[in-house]
Structure 1
């Protein structure tokens, strides 16, 4: 009983992390029912201005969407989000696209697929170019629902970064709802020629869950590469009981310095928050996408996040967006 009480107390406190413990300002989440159709939005990347490419992990046809996201230049809050178009490669079905990155040198888009565990290139008409990231041999074939989840590219550092959502089989056991194991991940980088460059060992936080769940996910759901070589890592733990009521998600964004040779990587907390679905709160949001947004008038950097609503599951969930200001 004492253990359960302490666990509950900690979960309740997650939403109230002291501001001095974080280096980012977390803005309120919002949804846009009139301009964003229900979807499974799992990644986004800025093209320029207010234009972004967004990947849906369960589209009718393989491809990506174009969104316009307007940001308040003073506060960094989202003023509006709207989907303005969709582009398809012509291939039926889906690769379970999870991460997306705009590749400025070639004016193309790369998408990581969790089904095939490949990172493929598309032109701005949505067509496959035939190129892909040259993944190391440790990524060998399908890995189920814990394959390649994230993707980011930075034109200043000329580096792609990706990782699997959970621990590779050769690296140990994966976290589940009851075992309390910390996932160990490999953050992998690639250059402009799509060649593999390096790996950073990364250890996630200890899971909060201590009870079995109907649906459970604990992993890194996206990465975001900054101009100075730092990398933001989005850790997401989702716990959904059999009857859904009482479901929660805890999100943590950490910053690591990719130039630091300390292993495993040293993490610095950027922002931490909890969403839930119960009789009081209905803000449950499974954040899976994260990218660099615009720079504000005072020089601060905006980070934009999107949540996967599972096509607004049961007409209860929403396609949430929010920002963090660094």
Structure 2
């Protein structure tokens, strides 16, 4: 019995050490400047996925049509975005159900879209544009606060799994606990892990139409770890002084350790209109020196009143 207990302790310590190794510091993390490009249509861009050849599928959480844009994104040798052009809009012949997230499986050529309003994920065949299957995340649907359900989705090619998470705590859960779901590619939920978000700067009872906090995106690094984009947004009554704080953490699903990768803040001031609500994140290219580019897109609320902009930026990991 004592040997079994000792063996169990050794296994737990080993798993903990493995998790810590996976969460080691990067040698460097660079946050590149954010840019906007007037040639792309005004949008509510909420999710982005790399579909190859410097093309990216981008969803908007508002609009009449179900579907996604194909943006061609040019990145220089330093990892900074130099240009974005809109190549097409792929109409999937349905109504936009608050499309908040998108990911792509390059092996099967399947696109997965996470819809917040019905709390479901829909799988599409890229070639035929037909729906393959759809699945509701039942507990998200039953217990989410309004407009606080599915906000993120990523495909992990090493595990051949999908991951999603609710944006903010479900009604009845701890005020900082989210439910990270691991799904099979047939959209069945296989595992669930608790994930604890950071304590918000503003009180949790701040009106929801002016305050949002929680996870706005997930990204698989295809090395057994995920990046988690935590976002807190606050809109002042007068709009000026509004701000967004973005934090990216790296995790191993099921391991409570969170490693802060980077953070930044944007705001709306008289002298600076750099306010950007980042909601989409995906892998970009690898640079010639091996550094990994991460691409992020922001929701401008359709370039609200001509003040907000459709910002994109990159983060470089080494």
CA offset at residue 64 of structure 1?
Answer: 1.0
Kindly indicate whether the alpha-carbon contact (under 8 Å) linking 1:151 and 1:162 is maintained by their aligned counterparts in 2: yes
Identify the residue that residue 41 of structure 1 maps to in structure 2: 45
After TM superposition, list the pairs within 5 Å mapping 1:7-156 onto structure 2.
24-33=29-38, 35-72=39-76, 74-91=77-94, 93-124=95-126, 127-133=129-135, 135=137, 137-141=138-142, 143=144, 144-156=146-158
Kindly indicate whether the alpha-carbon contact (under 8 Å) linking 2:67 and 2:92 is maintained by their aligned counterparts in 1: yes
CA offset at residue 132 of structure 1?
Answer: 2.7
Gaps of 5+ in 2: 1-24
Q: 2:290 aligns with which of 274, 287, 299?
A: 299
Counting matched residue pairs gives 290
| TM-score normalised to structure 1 length | 0.84
1:22–1:269 Cα change, 3 Å: farther
CA offset at residue 110 of structure 1?
Answer: 0.7
Q: 2:186 aligns with which of 178, 193, 204?
A: 193
- Deviations along 1:79-136, whole A, 9 cap, x unmatched? 2111111011222x3200000001223212111000000000122268341413574x
| TM-score normalised to structure 2 length | 0.86
CA offset at residue 191 of structure 1?
Answer: 2.3
- Deviations along 1:151-178, whole A, 9 cap, x unmatched? 01122331211011100113134xxxxx
Structure-1 separation of matches of 2:96 and 2:280: 18
Alignment of 1:206 with 2:199, yes or no, is: yes
Across the aligned residues of Structure 1 and Structure 2, the Cα RMSD in angstroms comes to 2.1
Alignment of 1:247 with 2:247, yes or no, is: no
